[in-house]
């Protein structure tokens, strides 16, 4: 893990001054565990955003398909020179190599984007999807192979466990994590774990994975290595922290749960366990009276048996704080404010599931209304962790699918430098047949926030480089939800596509969700 301040410098996220020693990013890559079986397959989706965001008119993509033991099965090259949607389909790649058992494949797809201009970020904006006609699950780029030794050393500055995702272990639900090894053989993969169950009880242990070959794909079912995990979790939500000895790649795991009765998967990515991070660089040094310590907008789903849970994982740098909960309706009117909604004590190290629907049930609010929450942190003694990570679970009760989506996200720091940004540029995938819902929120860390947002949507499809533009405005402390029907995209978007969201306001952000009639829900935050 690199320090948060080093991350800000390398990405210039808030207009930080660029170091004279910064190395340009000419290779941006991601590597993904992929599966095809009798129930579902895998795809990778992306937008040709380099042209739109950085005016890079040509990018070379190298696609490498590997078997589970790391052997190269296929390598191909594609030129990305247009702003359109792109997709890499595992099923198609297996057909290209005449792979015999197409219903039983585990391996990896590595994507490497090369250019002659600085791409700033060493990881590209891609979406991994596992799917069939009844479900899909999505997450953005996670693991990657380092560009060089300098890249490796910078990211190995601090070695911390991976955590921050939901786990279940029942007769029907099984938890897992997965990764693709880098170019270095690991003679004995080793993991030390701490499980936190729904009562916040801790259980520790360790296990050996054994030899891990270069570029080998590992798919670890936790029950195979932790035999008593079902009893530990007691048929309820839990979390796990994984301290490991993996090296030579960026160890952001694919992690989630499998449902057996309705063959499907729900996954997200892991995140840093910062409970041992106590250096000055692990805390925020830009405290400003005009801003909250941090805040984040989340949508609340409550129609048709939908539910929304906020998950607080025990993964923060040691600190004590209070969560403030503000809930707004569609026109920006505040219908609930609770300044002292939740007290967090680092000594307790609790796993907390906050059912927002239960809170709404105590209010006289029709379930047909779309609502949004602004989650605000108030840290004591200005001891503000630089990384504040939560989980957002959205699901539907009473249908075939029992797994909600589990979105990993950070709250946004109250950074006064953000005021210097003229606006924001974000983008999100769109799936025509998956009931995609976009949620946009105009919420800020500013305590007295009054800024409107003028928003331009540009839509792109996979078939060609045609585009479609629409504009809206969004008042402060307001959310807008949009579907393909709302945006009149039925004729334009034939299968899949992307949308870019360009605004004159740096605070607009949002999420996408796919709500299936089976009850399956997938989603992620915008790029």
For 221-344, where are the alpha helices, taking DSSP H only?
A: 222-225, 229-233
Structure tokens, 369? 């209304």
Structure tokens, 290? 């005009």
Got the DSSP string for 463-492? SSS-EEEEEEEE-TTEEEEEETTTTT-TTT
Q: Is residue 137 part of a domain?
A: yes
Q: Are residues 122 and 256 in the same domain?
A: no
Number of domains in the chain: 4
Domain edge (last residue) among 280, 305, 323 = 280
Q: How confident is the model at residue 18 (pLDDT cuts 50, 70, 90)?
A: low
Q: Are residues 10 and 131 in the same domain?
A: yes
Got the DSSP string for 40-81? -EEEEEEE-HHHHHH----EEEEEEEEETTS-EEEEEEEEE-
Domain edge (last residue) among 104, 124, 150 = 150
Q: Is residue 97 part of a domain?
A: yes
435 Cβ contact list (under 8 Å, min separation 6): 483, 514, 515, 516, 517
Q: Are residues 37 and 110 in the same domain?
A: yes
Q: Is residue 403 part of a domain?
A: no
Q: Are residues 13 and 109 in the same domain?
A: yes
Q: Are residues 38 and 96 in the same domain?
A: yes
Q: For 436-476, write each residue's pLDDT tens digit.
A: 999 999 999 999 999 999 999 999 999 999 999 999 999 99
Q: Are residues 93 and 196 in the same domain?
A: no
Nearest partner of 452 among 332, 357, 370, 362, judged by Cα = 332
Q: Are residues 135 and 185 in the same domain?
A: no
Q: For 161-207, write each residue's pLDDT tens digit.
A: 999 999 999 999 999 999 999 999 999 999 999 999 999 999 999 99
Q: Are residues 197 and 259 in the same domain?
A: yes
Domain edge (last residue) among 150, 182, 215 = 150
Nearest partner of 124 among 137, 105, 111, judged by Cα = 111
Q: What phi and psi values does residue 419 have, to the nearest 5 degrees?
A: -65, -20
Q: Are residues 127 and 32 in the same domain?
A: yes
Contact (CB, 8 A) for 318 and 301 = no
Q: Is residue 410 part of a domain?
A: no
Q: Is residue 463 part of a domain?
A: yes
Question: Which domain covers residue 436, as residue numbers?
Answer: 424-527
> What pLDDT shows up at residue 394?
97
Q: Are residues 14 and 144 in the same domain?
A: yes
Mapped onto helix, strand or coil, the DSSP state of residue 10 is helix
Q: Mean per-residue pLDDT for 127-143?
A: 96
Structure tokens, 132? 């069939």
Q: Is residue 112 part of a domain?
A: yes
Residues 24, 119: Cα–Cα separation, whole Å: 7
Q: Is residue 214 part of a domain?
A: yes
Q: Is residue 418 part of a domain?
A: no
* CATH number, position 351: 2.60.290.11
Q: Mean per-residue pLDDT for 12-28?
A: 73
| Residues forming beta bridges with residue 349, ordered by sequence position | none
Say what percent of the chain tops pLDDT 90: 78
């Amino acid at each position: 893990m690199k320090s948060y301040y080093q991350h800000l410098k390398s990405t210039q996220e808030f207009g930080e001054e660029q170091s004279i020693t910064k190395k340009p990013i000419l290779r941006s890559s991601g590597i993904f565990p992929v599966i095809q079986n009798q129930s579902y397959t895998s795809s990778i989706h992306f937008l040709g955003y380099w042209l739109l965001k950085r005016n890079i008119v040509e990018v070379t993509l190298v696609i490498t398909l590997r078997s589970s033991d790391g052997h190269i099965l296929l390598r191909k090259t594609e030129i990305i020179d247009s702003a359109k949607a792109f997709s890499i389909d595992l099923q198609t790649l297996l057909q290209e190599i005449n792979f015999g058992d197409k219903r039983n494949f585990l391996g990896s797809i590595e994507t490497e984007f090369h250019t002659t201009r600085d791409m700033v970020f060493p990881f590209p904006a891609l979406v991994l999807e596992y799917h069939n006609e009844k479900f899909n699950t999505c997450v953005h780029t996670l693991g990657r192979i380092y560009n060089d030794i300098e890249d490796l050393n910078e990211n190995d500055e601090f070695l911390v466990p991976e955590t921050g995702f939901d786990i279940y272990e029942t007769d029907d639900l099984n938890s897992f994590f997965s990764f693709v090894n880098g170019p270095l053989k690991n003679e004995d993969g080793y993991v030390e774990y701490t499980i936190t169950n729904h009562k916040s009880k801790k259980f520790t242990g360790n296990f050996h994975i054994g030899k891990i070959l270069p570029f080998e794909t590992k798919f670890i079912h936790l029950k195979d290595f932790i035999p008593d995990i079902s009893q530990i979790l007691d048929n309820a939500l839990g979390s796990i922290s994984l301290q490991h000895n993996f090296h030579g790649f960026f160890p952001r795991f694919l992690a989630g749960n499998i449902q057996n009765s309705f063959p499907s998967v729900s996954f997200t990515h892991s995140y840093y366990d910062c409970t041992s991070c106590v250096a000055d660089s692990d805390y925020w040094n830009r405290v400003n009276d005009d801003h909250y310590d941090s805040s984040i907008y989340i949508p609340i789903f409550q129609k048709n048996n939908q539910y929304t849970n906020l998950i607080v994982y025990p993964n923060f740098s040691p600190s004590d704080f209070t969560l403030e909960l503000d809930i707004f309706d569609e026109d920006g009117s505040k219908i609930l404010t609770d300044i002292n909604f939740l007290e967090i004590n680092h000594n307790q190290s609790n796993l907390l599931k906050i059912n927002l629907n239960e809170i709404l049930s105590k209010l006289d609010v029709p379930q047909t209304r779309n609502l949004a929450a602004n989650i605000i942190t108030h840290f004591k003694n200005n001891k503000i962790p630089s990384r504040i990570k939560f989980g957002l679970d959205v699901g539907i009760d009473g249908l075939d699918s029992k797994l909600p989506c589990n979105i990993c996200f950070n709250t946004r720091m109250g950074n006064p430098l953000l005021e210097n940004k003229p606006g924001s540029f974000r983008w999100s995938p769109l799936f025509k047949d998956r009931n995609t819902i976009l949620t946009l929120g105009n919420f800020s860390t500013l305590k007295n926030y009054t800024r409107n947002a003028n928003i331009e949507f540009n839509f792109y499809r996979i078939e060609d480089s045609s585009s479609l533009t629409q504009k809206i405005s969004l008042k402060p402390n307001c959310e807008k939800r949009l579907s393909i029907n709302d945006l009149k995209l039925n004729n334009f978007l034939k299968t899949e596509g992307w949308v870019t969201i360009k605004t004159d306001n740096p605070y607009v952000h949002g999420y996408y969700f796919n709500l299936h009639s089976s009850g399956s829900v997938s989603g992620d935050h915008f790029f």
